[in-house]
Amino acid sequence: MADKTYTGEFYCVKCKAKREATGNIVVSENGTRMAKGKCPECGTNLNRILGKA
């Protein structure tokens, strides 16, 4: 499932704003799907929780 991507809104904690970005979908240890990407403005790592796998 690591080859799937998510494109949508992420919240950047550093910029304190919602940003459109693309990230890879990964499954955490507890079974929750998460999208991980980079902020296009400041380069900070972004995480978005998508729900159970």
The residue whose two tokens read 């890879």 is 24
CB atoms inside a 10 Å sphere around CB 23: 19
pLDDT for the residue 53: 64
pLDDT for the residue 51: 85
Of the candidates 40, 33, 16, the one whose C-alpha atom is nearest the C-alpha of residue 48 is: 33
Contact partners, residue 41, CB within 8 Å, separation at least 6: 12, 15, 19
pTM across the whole model = 0.79
Helix (H, G, I), strand (E, B) or coil at 32: strand
Q: Give the tens place of pLDDT for each residue, 10-42.
A: 999 999 999 999 999 999 999 999 999 999 999
- 21: tokens are 């970005």
Residue ranges of domains in the chain, CATH in brackets:
5-52 (2.30.30)
